Structure 1
Amino acid sequence: MNLKSLDLNLLVALDALLLEANVSRAAMRIGLSQPAASHALQRLRDLIGDPLLVRNGARMELTPRAQALRGPLAQALDQVRSLFVPDDFDAARSERHFRLMMPDLAVELLMPSLMAKITKAAPNVRIDVVPWRSSAIITAEFARTLDMVISIGDAFRGFHRQRLYTDSDALAVRRGHPAAAKLKTRDGFLNARHVAVVIRGQSEDLIDIWLRPKGIERKIALVVPGYIEALHVTARTDLVAFVPRRLIGALSKQLSLVAIVPPFDPGIDEQFMFYPTRAQMDPGSIWLRNIMLGIGREMEREKRKVA
């Protein structure tokens, strides 16, 4: 193939088409009109000699040739992008979009401070937050779209890890709960009806995985996919939620919640910041990571003051 005749913008279009397997969504991803994306697809079909996307009922599917191109193309585009990484990052003028994956509790605890700092230093920078998913179900293609992950000790392939802050778990109940005092005892805990939080990619609440070896089985009355949902339900029922203490504190006034120490040592939870190995020397990534680490340090200082 003569590279002089190749429009490199077609590779960007191809990348979007392979990620989305949908012409309309691919067009939105890279800022093209749908006709322009359809035209790019036709040019790619002619160039590669393969239909790439074929209709199967109401949806489009990648051909085997298209599937085989996903990994090599992603690697090639990352290498090309690395050639144009600037020597510095002008936060005040940047219009960069950062994509972060984190659970709802991290959004509640971190995003107000993060956005306050970004609004002041980089008013045109945009943060896109996507729901957390387990490292067990995260695909390489999806991981490549992320600039940062906030999570507990999961290992995310292709990411470096730094500790952000520590926490511990406590029982959340509504203010005035009739059995609040009894929850501090083992019998009271076992007799209570609990809300379990099972996040996407998990089979059960991490609390129950931790309690089972201790011979403790909770009475699960409700399962929800997020911590904030659990606390909203807890605030209006007699159910009990076993969740991170910092989150209870953040929402205690708004939802009229009380934190109760469980009848056993809950230990220490560690929340980590993950960033892509490919972005280790990226000035924009370094800038964002430093802000996030600073927020983590502030949270730890506040924790020591309270203690």
Structure 2
Amino acid sequence: MTAPDLNLLIALDALLAEVSVARAARRLGLSASAMSRTLSRLRDTTGDPLLVRAGRRMVLTPHAEQLRARSQDALDEARTLLTPATASPDFATLRRTFTLRANDGFVEAFGASLIAALTQVAPFASLRFLPKTEKTAAPLRNAQVDLEIGVLGDVGEASNMGPEIRVQTLFRDRFVGAVRSGHPLEAHGAPDAERYVAFGHVVASRHGTGEGPIDAALDALGLRRDIVAVVPSFPAALSVAQASDLIALVPASLMTQRAARRASTASASFHVFDLPVATEQIAVSLMWHPRMEADPVHRWLRQHVLSVCRAADATLR
């Protein structure tokens, strides 16, 4: 089987975009006759007429319509392959989907800001967020995701990520308590430990385990909270707290972003308070595989994630 002439891909993309032999010729700096000959070659290669006359104009065949988006993607990928790693990308025309693995709380807190920051510079880029069902570096190693966002201090994550994974701290977060607006706790300010454990609690855990550092701190005071419900995400914990008298334990970053949105929307309000016992701050980190270290587009993505998240750091400290 004869290998296809990959130079035809450039002509195909021009013809499908312009839907005109003459305009495609001008776009590529060719004569109309040369472009007509190229179209004939493309027809032989694809086994389809591609462009046919309809009255005084040309129209694409159904097969050509299907090829239009694919040809653009293929040409963009080919150009990327042949671009030096040190070259500055053209973000105005960049067509690329970036995949980030993060929990629901991060997506709710930073997703909209991150999408806006990226698409302002690269309007044809897109983001795809995947859930963190388990803590492993396999999606980074297998190129299933571009970036992983998480807390390295979580049990098992540091050992599961592996020594080759690049890590950068995004910001430091802390846990706070949140109850619905009008909750009995709201009238008395930040509760002490005894009042804190007087109400039921809803906590977020992917694995269904409810206890954490706050329970160890309460235990040192001879107190224990009543964990009534365990849900898989922080937004889910807030939904339960909004419709009950339960206290939700959530990251301060999530509540800060919700408060900012509530200033311009009719979103549900919460009473947020500092915990009555001391707990350590948590470092939220950005992780990627070293093969992406020198990629200029990936560096640009990492910088935007860092900029968006660092803006929250001063607020949370």
TM bracket, shorter-chain basis: 0.5 to 0.7
**What stretches of structure 1 move > 6 A for 4+ residues in a row?**
4-7
Structure 2: gaps spanning 5 or more residues: 5-79
> C-alpha distance in 2, partners of 1:140/1:85?
26
Correspondences of 1:10-159 after superposition (within 5 Å)? 86-87=84-85, 88=87, 89-136=89-136, 139=138, 143-153=142-152, 154-155=157-158, 156-157=161-162, 158-159=164-165
1:204 maps to which of 182, 205, 209: 209
> C-alpha distance in 2, partners of 1:194/1:246?
20
Equivalence for 1:46: none
Cα distance change of structure 1 residues 6 and 274 upon mapping to structure 2, 3 Å threshold: farther
> C-alpha distance in 1, partners of 2:202/2:209?
12
Cα distance change of structure 1 residues 140 and 164 upon mapping to structure 2, 3 Å threshold: closer
| Matched position secondary structure for 1:112 | helix
> C-alpha distance in 2, partners of 1:192/1:6?
72
> C-alpha distance in 2, partners of 1:105/1:123?
25
> C-alpha distance in 1, partners of 2:258/2:104?
13
Equivalence for 2:171: 165
| Matched position secondary structure for 2:127 | strand
> C-alpha distance in 2, partners of 1:133/1:139?
12
> 1:144 offset after TM fit, Å?
2.6
> 1:289 offset after TM fit, Å?
0.4
TM-score (norm 2): 0.63
Equivalence for 1:294: 307
Amino acid at match of 1:173: V
> C-alpha distance in 1, partners of 2:309/2:281?
15
2:140–2:288 contact (8 Å) kept in structure 1: no
RMSD in angstroms over aligned alpha carbons?
A: 2.7
Amino acid at match of 1:134: E
The answer on 1:257 being equivalent to 2:263 is no
| Matched position secondary structure for 1:145 | coil
Amino acid at match of 1:168: R
Cα distance change of structure 1 residues 91 and 217 upon mapping to structure 2, 3 Å threshold: farther
> C-alpha distance in 2, partners of 1:184/1:84?
61
> 1:85 offset after TM fit, Å?
6.6
Paired residues, what number?
Answer: 222
The answer on 1:229 being equivalent to 2:236 is yes
Equivalence for 2:254: 247
Amino acid at match of 2:196: F
> C-alpha distance in 1, partners of 2:135/2:100?
14
Superimposed CA distance per residue, residues 46-95 of structure 1 (whole angstroms, 9 cap, x where no aligned partner): xxxxxxxxxxxxxxxxxxxxxxxxxxxxxxxxxxxx97674232211111
Amino acid at match of 1:230: A
Structure 1: gaps spanning 5 or more residues: 8-81
Correspondences of 1:210-221 after superposition (within 5 Å)? 210-214=213-217, 215=219, 217-221=224-228
Amino acid at match of 1:144: A
> C-alpha distance in 1, partners of 2:280/2:241?
23
The answer on 1:192 being equivalent to 2:217 is no
Amino acid at match of 1:171: G
2:165–2:290 contact (8 Å) kept in structure 1: yes
| Matched position secondary structure for 1:233 | helix
Amino acid at match of 1:220: I
Equivalence for 1:74: none
> 1:282 offset after TM fit, Å?
1.1
> C-alpha distance in 1, partners of 2:274/2:140?
42
| Matched position secondary structure for 1:191 | coil
1:99–1:129 contact (8 Å) kept in structure 2: yes
> C-alpha distance in 2, partners of 1:142/1:279?
11
Cα distance change of structure 1 residues 217 and 126 upon mapping to structure 2, 3 Å threshold: same
> 1:267 offset after TM fit, Å?
2.5
Cα distance change of structure 1 residues 248 and 176 upon mapping to structure 2, 3 Å threshold: same
> 1:261 offset after TM fit, Å?
1.4
